[in-house]
Structure 1
Amino acid sequence: MVWRVASSHSSLWVKWTKTYLLKQESFWSLQSKRTLAWAPGGIWFTHSTPKFSFHAWLAILDRLTLHGRPNDILDCKHQPLLSVFCQHPVETRSHLFFTCIFSAAVWCALTKGLLKRNYSLNWQDIISFISDNTRPHLILFLTRYVFQATIHSIWKERNSRRHGEQPLASNNLITVIDKHVRNRVSSIRLLGDTKYEEALYTWLAARS
């Protein structure tokens, strides 16, 4: 996925991404402009899932189309579009993914036991944590992975609700993300990477 964007692949999806998400800038120029704000290892890491990484990368670069001001986007009745999760009139990156009552419940359920005293709903605190390579490697891997899975899942749920699809309750979304993490760490064990052989136990212990 990233290779297609970076190499100017001519598919319709890549053209849409460059026009509406990258704003006609190159993949590499976006990387270089923001290297001081976060470490690429927090997004591009061993055993990550490309579609999760890509959405997390766009979120970190603040390239997702959000309603940053109350009157940015209007519905067909010329009324401001409110947050689909909590009806808040201003949709920011931090609010959508972590401080909205819906997303906060999701993040808390998934990571409070894992992060313990490092648990936070603050965007910058979370980015700092996943960018810190001095953290214990299993905790760091699991936090990075669940961060990306959460970004992807909340963004997907947000867009589904905008298009009138049946909404998922926060508990259901927690189950979906938890399954993503379990499936990934289980697949890593099958690959024989012994560095992560305790990842599933660590995750289950944190979730208990």
Structure 2
Amino acid sequence: MNKKQQIIETSIAVFNEMGIRNTTTRHIADRMGMSAGNLHYHFKHTEDIILQIFQQLIQEFDEMMKVEHPGPWTLKILEDSLAKSFAIQQRYKFVFINFVELGKWIPQIAESYRENIQKRQIQFRRMIVQLQEDGTIAASLSSEELEILVNQIFILADFWISFNELVNQLTGQSAVDHYQAIFLRLLQPYIATGAKG
């Protein structure tokens, strides 16, 4: 792992522990045992680090989607993908806790998020249509219901960490399991009778 990537990995840990308001490049440099000047050689400002972290997060989601879905969707593939997605979100939890603030502070994050969410929603709609075609999801799901479902799912998927941080305060796998179950419950009314995973 090169120095730049070491800075990124250390920064993720520090931001998750201390939050974005309390973290400076000096804190990150101290954690790494390096001078702030040496860190600034790689990243001039805190927002440069955060933007790089966000781009890495998006890349991890993209890679997960490519690896996880070589063939048709099934409920089992959806559940496995969801678990991996939630694990990625936990790794970068400071991003999801501070999404709105980060988007206002660093406009490229807001723009990238909007582009990424459009892409993910298209993928999700295709998945639902394919699951309808193979009889897993009820064919009676209308296009209007599909749009509402997609919005519900993305609100839950992208903001469960903030809710958990303030309300339930679950940690580790128990947090992932709890919110994955809630997510899957959103789909339950649309799963066709007798459908298999």
The TM-score, its normalising length taken from structure 1, stands at 0.31
Of Structure 1 and Structure 2, the greater helix share is in 2
Higher relative contact order (CA 8 A, sep 6+): 2
